[in-house]
Structure 1
Amino acid sequence: MLKEIRPAIALTILFTVVLGIIYPLGMTRLAQAIFPHQAEGSLILRNGTVIGSGIIGQEFVRADYFHGRPSATTGTDEKGNTIALPDNAANSMGSNLGPTSKALIERIRSDAERLKGENPGMAVPVDLVTTSASGIDPDITPAAALFQVPRVAKARNLDPARLQALVGQFTRPRTLGIIGEPSVNVLQLNMALDAATAKMVR
């Protein structure tokens, strides 16, 4: 019986070492050599300090910042209870509410009404009231960013045209011109907004 078991044990150890250690380490080293920024998490620095990642959304709630998509991610409090924790990268998830869910319909209706109050007469972009599958989407559509210009411009006392130009500057086109949709990274846009405001103050 040992004769039959020995090859199985040897192969298990071999494949564990090759596929569980050597291959992952090799791929990690290769990725770090070819795509160092992406392999390290697409980290975004300000004055040498990490303030976020280009691939993980952050929750912005102040009126003087552009807001990202709603997030359905959750976390736990000190007692271990599940609580809403938007843009929780440790618990990436979407909402499990279906299109006929009353809770989902009411939440979207409430968000849409609030947004209409910020920019009357404009259609609310769908990504400002719907969550992404990951719950941590860092990007919004250019339409969603432009929709927020009046609110941000009022809060910062800036010319809306200047903010529209800033949105255009940070709008990324489709990859290779055909893949995906144009998008705006919310964190990078808000960083540029802070920088532009600081220059005006000086």
Structure 2
Amino acid sequence: MIAKHGRARDKRAMLPALTIIDDFLSDPWAARRAALALDYAPPGAGGNYPGRDTTGALPVDAIDASVSRQLGVELVGAPGTEHGHCRMTLKADRGRSGVHVDPAFYSGILYLSRPEDCLKPGAGGTDFFRHKRTGLERVPANGAELAATGYDTVDDLVADVVNKDTTHPAKWERVMRVPMRFNRLVLFSPWQFHTAAPGFGTDPESARLVMLLFFARAGR
């Protein structure tokens, strides 16, 4: 959930709304071990999201380069985001917000939960939504689309749609769930209305474990 957007929207329509890359890392088990070895914020210290984030990031240069090649755009970590940090979410974890958009040019989620945990009932990946009152599935990509919504500015739309209804599940209709799969990278436009599927597991080994990726265009 964010309130201001501005330049993060520049030319965002040129990239695909959603890309799924399976078997992304050559050694995902090493990445998983490294993720579990990081320091995590204490329970209850999370922000709007359910679960606990790491206090530091995993190395991301190779990931940035690989994603840049995949998309044909030079990308770097978005300033002020948790690019490369990991998040661990247990079944009992709850957050203070739900459906949201990200303050980035492009977003990514790398799933690092064990294969057997990804297959369990309820082990969801990432959910995308339609806002029932407006019929919107994303923040408009240009001025013409924005004008058609009846809102004067993007910030007005986000305030009245996303921030107002983020914690009201009945206001949203889920249109798609990307299933959780070990070593699956999901890349998507951050301006689509989305949220993480519910957490699972009872300890770090069995928890929902992901690496968070928030990209900016190089030189911007």
TM-score, with structure 1 as normaliser: 0.24
Higher relative contact order (CA 8 A, sep 6+): 2
TM-score, with structure 2 as normaliser: 0.22
Larger radius of gyration: 1
Structure with a larger share of its residues in strand: 2
Structure with a larger share of its residues in helix: 1
